Structure 1
Amino acid sequence: MSISSTAARTADATVTALAGPGGHFLPSEQLSQILEATEADWARLAANWDDLRLDTHMADGGTYRYRRYGQFELTTATGELTLLPHEPYRQESEVNALNGGVDRLFEPLTESFLNNPLFARLLTALGEIFSAVDGTERWNIKLHPYRITAGAEVGQPAPEGRHRDGVTFITSLLISRLNVDGGESSVYTNDGDLLETVTLTEPGDLLLGDDRRTLHSVTPVHPVDATAPAHRDVLVIAYTAR
């Protein structure tokens, strides 16, 4: 995709950060420049989070997470993005001590989600950044739209604690926050040194990490007003080099 010189410098800085320390926060304003996205574009994408389904595979018994799932293959040299057949999602227990070791079947992404005009631009732009870091041109992309609710039950964006996802690069994109405190995201080196701590607050705020060299965590979310609905919506996107 062709982007402005300012957006190109932002993308280059992201490549440098990922090739160096391994973690990087990209504010919404900068990501929006890369994607040529408006507030209305983010709002249209966010509407899809009202159509997620309860995650019934939580080993902690939690009922605070709603989600869907889908995966793609991307060839960055040509920009070809291909939806892959729907199948269960699996992580091994060594990677996910809480929910790993089993096949988890989630509802697929909706046509509304897949046809959103911002969607392909986002996946392609991130793939180009990761290709510039890693040299890989073919990626498997796994998408996890999450809604974490907060109320009488504490919302846990990362119930497994500090972890990695067993992929090449991992990103967390804020879609919306409604009536919540908390949700502070942190990225660490493999030795436990803190690289980045940030609270994603604006639609389009993005935290990226080299999953081979970093660990990440997110603190729980609590309602500001316990009598009103409260949730944190994010899109977690995992890129694995082919």
Structure 2
Amino acid sequence: MEDIAGDSTLRSAGEVAEARQALLSRHAHVMEPAAVSRCLGVDAADWRRFALHWEDLSHDEYAAREGTHRLRRYGHFSLDRTGALRPMPHLAFAQPEDTNPLYVGEERHFEPLTDAFVADPLFKSLLRLLGRIASCLRDADVWSVKVHPFRVVASTDRAGLPTPEGRHRDGVTLVTSLMISRENAVGGQSTVYTPDGTTVLATTLHEPGTLLLGDDRATLHEVAPISPADATRPARRDVLVTTLTAHHSAERDAQVG
């Protein structure tokens, strides 16, 4: 198995320590693009290559029922404490009943991540970075990692709803949102709340590589709608949502979306 220790681990120790401390104290944190790039060992060309995967997403028929034009794919992996990644069976995605009010008890079927997406070195480095950060929340032998690349599209007559379910939690340990790109979009503020409704953090992800982290056990979150800046063209917002749930054995999680 591949060990996560190495030059990149040493190089990003400060950024990871800062993110961990913020999660422990405030339950949410924003990592700026320069810090994320240093942690991953990537540059602007790597981000441009990675963004091309968003041109190969599939229609989300479930969001369409709520009037939202959204594209997505879905993948499930296990990540152990050495940094070894293993794909899990591609099954339906389902969330705990006390989390997403739109899809209570519903199994949703999404197209899998493409082979090119999974093989991208930026993607693999990102999951290992998230595992290192999440270790402050739980000393897990294995993380169940669920990966959701999203594109939300808006027009003048149809707002884009990144979170059509509204304020919610995902029923995981760590929830993250990585900005990939925005085009002709206004709005889309991400807000993290305590259970009593107090705002913990509010930010609009603009620059590619900006990473929002949240302790999903202690917070709720939502993203405001987007709309076109130029009414003659559609708006779009591309993000990668990745969640990590602590398990001593990811095999037990194979049947849970």
TM range (shorter): over 0.9
Which residue is 1:238 aligned to? 243
Answer yes or no: is the 8 Å Cα contact 2:145–2:245 preserved in 1.
yes
Alignment deviations for residues 187-242 of structure 1 (CA, whole Å, 9 cap, x no partner) = 11122111111110111101100000011111000001122232000000010000
Match of 2:26 among 12, 21, 28: 21
Return the letter of the residue paired with 2:116: S
- In angstroms, what is the RMSD of aligned CA positions? 1.4
Which residue is 2:146 aligned to? 142
How do residues 1-242 of structure 1 correspond to structure 2 at under 5 angstroms?
A: 1=4, 2=6, 3=8, 7-58=12-63, 60-76=65-81, 78-151=82-155, 152-242=157-247
Which range moved further: 145-154 or 130-139?
130-139
Alpha-carbon distance, 1:4 to partner: 6.7
Q: 1:57 is paired with a residue of what secondary structure?
A: helix
Q: Which has the higher strand share?
A: 1
Alignment deviations for residues 58-115 of structure 1 (CA, whole Å, 9 cap, x no partner) = 3743241110001000002x21100111111011442111123211100000011011
Answer yes or no: is the 8 Å Cα contact 2:73–2:148 preserved in 1.
yes
Return the letter of the residue paired with 2:45: A
Cα distance change of structure 1 residues 59 and 48 upon mapping to structure 2, 3 Å threshold: closer
Q: For 1:220 and 1:63, how far apart are their aligned partners in 2?
A: 10
Answer yes or no: is the 8 Å Cα contact 2:63–2:69 preserved in 1.
no
Q: 2:221 is paired with a residue of what secondary structure?
A: strand
Paired-residue identity, % = 47
Alpha-carbon distance, 1:5 to partner: 5.6
Answer yes or no: is the 8 Å Cα contact 1:88–1:104 preserved in 2.
yes
- TM-score by length of structure 1 reads 0.95
- Give the paired residue count: 241
Q: Which sections of structure 1, spanning at least 5 residues, go unmatched?
A: none
Answer yes or no: is the 8 Å Cα contact 1:18–1:209 preserved in 2.
yes
Task: Find runs of 4+ consecutive structure 1 residues off by over 3 angstroms.
Answer: none
